[in-house]
């Protein structure tokens, strides 16, 4: 019976980490100054590395020694260490770290294609997260995002002319057809959309403007909001909510 069998699956973890890092046993051995045969024995559970190599292994695989040894713990217990490490990071490193967390939380949710300057936008059942490298990290929960979007329908004076009010009215009405945060882009019939838009708005002119802006698609059966329009409307709603109700959000500054 292998000596490590049943003892935290150390060899299996080393094997998984090595493969996920696209390393051969020979390459890992060279980094640690041991033979490929030694690495093979670790992975089979026939032997253990010298204790002095544990730190080097953790550094190579960018993990903790606890993880290598199979010790599991609640993520909450890692917060003190995370806080310390965040203070040592540059702003870019912090943003990258937050982006990795966003990826981990949202890997099963919809990933929206975005401008190359934006690293990632996620929109799913948990809310919206925008990670723009070196620029912005925005995380809005589903509750806040829904409330913010609904607030667009209120007659609140907005101090920024981000979008013409008529355009915003149309794309908001298209957004309302979505039952949850994840857009399905179901078309709305021309007659139905016209009935939703106030009579004092020239519908034909505004819908053309929406299409030219790239927010709305004219499809068989009517019109639909596309990815760009959906995300733009939700982000605009967040800005609107922040400006109109500054007490409803929190702003975190970089750690000193």
pLDDT at 39: 92
Cα-Cα end-to-end distance for the chain: 53
CB 124 within 8 A of CB 210: no
pLDDT at 253 over 50: no
Q: How confident is the model at residue 255 (pLDDT cuts 50, 70, 90)?
A: very low
Q: How confident is the model at residue 110 (pLDDT cuts 50, 70, 90)?
A: very low
CA distance 11 to 173: 57
- pLDDT, tens digit, for every residue of 116-175? 455 677 777 667 777 666 566 677 777 777 777 777 666 555 555 667 878 888 888 888
CA distance 128 to 146: 10
Q: In the structure, how many helices (H) and strands (E) does the chain have?
A: 12, 6
Across the range 48-52, mean pLDDT stands at 87
pTM over the 0.75 mark: no
CA distance 14 to 65: 11
For residue 61, give the nearest of 42, 86, 74 by alpha carbon. 42
Mean pLDDT of the chain: 76
pLDDT at 50 over 60: yes
pLDDT at 254: 46
Q: Tokens 């609640």 — which residue?
A: 74
pLDDT at 54 over 80: yes
More confident residue, 89 or 249: 89
């Amino acid at each position: 019976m292998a000596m490590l069998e049943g003892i935290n699956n150390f060899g299996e973890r080393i094997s998984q980490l090595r493969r996920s890092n696209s390393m051969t046993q020979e390459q890992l051995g060279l980094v640690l100054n041991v033979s490929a045969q030694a690495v093979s024995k670790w992975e089979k559970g026939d032997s253990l590395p010298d204790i002095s190599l544990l730190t080097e292994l953790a550094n190579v695989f960018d993990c903790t020694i606890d993880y290598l040894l199979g010790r599991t713990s609640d993520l909450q217990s890692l917060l003190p260490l995370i806080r310390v490490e965040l203070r040592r990071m540059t702003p870019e490193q912090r943003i990258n770290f937050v982006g990795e967390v966003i990826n981990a939380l949202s890997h099963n949710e919809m990933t929206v294609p975005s401008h190359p300057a934006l690293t990632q936008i996620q929109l799913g059942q948990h809310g919206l997260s925008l990670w723009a490298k070196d620029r912005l990290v925005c995380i809005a929960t589903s509750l806040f995002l829904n409330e913010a979007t609904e607030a667009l329908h209120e007659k609140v004076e907005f101090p920024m002319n981000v979008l013409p009010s008529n355009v915003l009215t149309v794309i908001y009405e298209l957004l309302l057809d979505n039952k949850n945060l994840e857009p399905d882009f179901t078309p709305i019939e021309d007659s139905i959309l016209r009935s939703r838009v106030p009579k004092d708005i020239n519908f034909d002119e505004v819908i053309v403007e929406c299409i030219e802006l790239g927010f709305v698609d004219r499809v068989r059966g009517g019109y639909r909001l596309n990815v760009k329009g959906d995300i733009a409307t939700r982000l605009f709603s967040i800005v609107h909510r922040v400006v109109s109700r500054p007490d409803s959000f929190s702003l975190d500054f970089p750690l000193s």
